[in-house]
Amino acid sequence: MERQFETRFGLKPKWSIDCPGRVNLIGEHIDYHGYSVLPMALEVKTTLLIAPLETPEIRFENVNESFVPHTEAIPSNWDKQTKPQWFHYLLAGWAEMISDLKATQKGFAVLMDSSVPPSAGLSSSSSLVCASALATLTVETDGKPWSVMDKVKLAELCMHAEQRIGTAGGGMDQASECLSKKGSALHISFNPLRTESVSLPADCMFVVADSKEMKNKAASNEYNTRVVEGRLSTIMLAKSLGLENWKQMRRLIHVQDESGLSLEELIEKCNVLPEHLSAAEAKAVMEDQDVFTADTRDNSSFTIRSRALHVYSEAHRVDLFKQACRANNISEMARLMNESHESCSKAHECSSPKLDELVTALRAEGALGARLTGAGWGGCAVALFRADHLAKGDFPSHLNILFHSKPSEGISMTQL
């Protein structure tokens, strides 16, 4: 890769940025409601080689020559892109960092490579955004990024950066990719951002398999529709419980905080919610509030009760999964993963026929538990096996196993 950099740009790279992908073990579509999640960083990663330029430009190139190079003249006022190309993810991280630093926009060259499968639910897009933000910080500080910003601040900044490419996420991807420690999964809580390393049982192994169905969540509105449906269910549930400040609520955790109810109690309270709302009914519920994203304003209907049930039950499963890890209770971990997939598939409707088939096939092959991972609508499944399973032979080819991975280190910068 260093040789390619020299050939393309006519100078040697000065720094290397590595940012892993991540697999979410449990806790899907709940981070943007403020609930904790439990991912682990992967050994597959995005790598950026960078070097300062004397010219007023940022030059983006990709090892994969099917991605067209891009040159961004600076100073640039680039802000947002809702139908992103590959380099827009890099610009998103750059723009957020420049805004935070109030920096002067130094020119630099970037060569990107990635072993994180794209659109597979392994957070390849966040890996690009985080890597670019750290690359920008490295250039602006002349190789001393951690002298002005720690990894917690970097993760928080990157949460906002990804909104520049149209996804209203909650921060799990960026936190896991920036803050993970080698050998442990990461329990992530939000508002404020807090992390706790979670040791996994030594006799378990996680395998990631590809459904071969790709979905770019930034190029469709299914993901943002779930965000909006969660906001609507928050308002309706808060109203039904007589919470006075319902107009300020947008996340289901706000209902729990204000009501003092347990997750189990809130699951029961969801029965008062309607299953569906028409667009007109949704607008009436909001009164003078606006919870829509730009790409959901024309939706004809919204699902309410099932979405809230998924969020509260999934949040409860995360708590139970962490307890099971600490108790080395692999059977309980597997049960919770299976329940999670059922909820994602039926209640949150973020699975797909191919993903459901893959999960079933993994269980038939000996997985104790298996579930979709990532936003869904295609992408990957993660499966829990006993660690000695590989000794029984290779997995059948139809399972499309990408890798089995140990928990990896978060984002890093190396001077070359």
pLDDT 10s digits, 155-201: 999 999 988 987 666 788 899 999 999 888 999 998 888 999 998 88
Average pLDDT over residues 222-245: 95
Residue 335 lies in a domain: yes
Q: What is the pLDDT of residue 414?
A: 97
Q: What value, to the nearest 5°, has the Cα angle with vertex 38 and ends 172 and 153?
A: 40
- For residue 324, is it within any domain? no
| Residue 249, domain member (yes or no) | yes
For residues 212 and 292, state if they share a domain. no
DSSP structural state of residue 345: I
What local confidence, expressed as pLDDT, does residue 358 receive? Answer: 97
Range of the domain at 228: 223-310
Indicate the helix (H) or strand (E) that contains 349.
none
Q: Clarify whether residues 179 and 30 are in a common domain.
A: yes
What residue has token string 């059977």? Answer: 331
Burial zone of 206 (CB within 10 Å; 0-12 exposed, 13-18 middle, 19+ buried): buried
Mark whether 142 and 214 lie in a shared domain.
no
Both 98 and 31 in one domain: the answer is: yes
| Per-residue confidence (pLDDT) for residue 80, from 0 to 100 | 87
Helix extents (H) in 343-401: 353-364
pLDDT at 373 over 70: yes
CATH of residue 394: 3.30.70.3170
Confidence of residue 216 (pLDDT cuts 50, 70, 90): low
Across 147-272, the runs of DSSP E, i.e. the strands, are: 185-189, 194-198, 204-210
Measured CA to CA, the distance from residue 333 to residue 324 in angstroms comes to 6
Q: Following DSSP, what letter does each residue of 246-257 receive, concatenated?
A: GGG--SHHHHHH
Q: pLDDT grade, residue 27 (50/70/90)?
A: very high
Return the structure tokens found at 340: 């999670």
pLDDT higher than threshold 90 for residue 141? yes
d(CA 37, CA 35): 7
pLDDT category of residue 402 using cuts at 50, 70 and 90: confident
Q: Which is nearest to 5 in space by CA: 88, 16, 134, 45?
A: 16
Whether 73 and 171 share a structural domain: yes
Residue 288 a catalytic site member: no
Answer with the one of 310, 341, 369 that is the final residue of a domain: 310
Lowest mean pLDDT of 23-37, 49-63, 206-220, 387-401, name the range: 206-220
Instruction: Write down the pLDDT at residue 127.
Output: 95
Nearest Cα neighbor of 334 from 375, 374, 362 is 362
Whether the CB-CB separation of 413 and 145 falls below 8 Å is answered with yes
**Which whole number is the average pLDDT over 237-253?**
95
In this structure, are 49 and 167 located in the same domain?
A: yes
Q: What is the mean pLDDT of residues 51-66?
A: 96
- CATH code at position 256: 1.20.1440.340
219 versus 250: the higher-pLDDT residue is: 250
Q: What is the pTM of this model?
A: 0.85
pLDDT score of 388? 86
Domain boundary (251, 281, 310) is at 310
SS3 160: helix
On whether residue 322 sits in a domain, the answer given is no
Long-range contacts of 100-104 (CB under 8 A, 24+ apart): 100/157, 101/137, 101/140, 101/148, 103/136, 103/140, 104/140
In this prediction, residue 287 carries a pLDDT of 75
136, amino acid identity = T
In this structure, the answer to whether residues 113 and 174 fall within a common structural domain is yes
**pLDDT for res 180:** 93
Average pLDDT over residues 113-131: 87
pLDDT class of 290 with cuts at 50, 70, 90: confident
Q: Do the Cβ atoms of 381 and 31 come closer than 8 Å?
A: no
Residue 325 falls within a domain, yes or no? no
Query: 116 and 247: one domain?
Result: no
Helical H segments across 102-167, by residue range: 124-140, 151-161
CB 272 within 8 A of CB 240: yes
Same domain, 370 and 305: no
Domain boundary pick from 261, 279, 310: 310
Give 283-290 contacts, CB < 8 A, sequence gap 24+.
285/232, 285/235, 285/236, 286/232, 286/235, 287/247, 289/235, 289/247
**Residue 29 falls in which region: left (phi positive, over 0), alpha (psi -120 to 50) or beta:** left
318 lies in a domain? no
Residues 101 and 121 in one domain: yes
By DSSP bridging, strand 57-62 and strand 108-114 are parallel
- Average pLDDT value for the chain: 92
Judged against a pLDDT cut of 60, whether residue 335 lies above it is answered with yes
pLDDT band at 219 (very low <50, low <70, confident <90, very high): low
Q: Does an H or E element contain 98, and which? A: helix 86-101
Same domain, 254 and 276: yes
| Long-range contacts of residues 322-328, Cβ cutoff 8 Å, at least 24 apart | 322/38, 322/187, 322/198, 325/185, 325/198, 325/199, 325/200, 325/201, 326/198, 326/199, 328/201
149 assigned to some structural domain: yes
Query: What is the Cα 11 distance to its own chain's centre?
Result: 34
CATH number of the domain where residue 11 is located: 3.30.230.10
The rounded distance, in Å, linking the Cα atoms of 33 and 27 is 11
- pLDDT beyond 70 at 405: no
Instruction: Kindly report the number of other CB atoms within 10 A of residue 234's CB atom.
Output: 23
Nearest to 253 by CA among 233, 271, 272, 239: 233
Kindly name the residue from 173, 210, 295, 356 that is annotated as catalytic: 173
> Is residue 3's pLDDT more than 60?
yes
pLDDT bucket at 339, cuts 50 / 70 / 90: very high
Residue 294 has pLDDT above 90, yes or no: no
Average pLDDT on 289-309 reads 93
**Confidence check: pLDDT of 136 > 90:** yes
On whether both 230 and 165 belong to a single domain, the answer is no
Total domains in the chain come to 3
For residues 111-124, give the mean pLDDT. 85
With a pLDDT cut of 70, the percent of the chain lying above it is 98
- The CA R_g of the chain, rounded to the nearest whole Å, is 22
At residue 171, the pLDDT reads 83
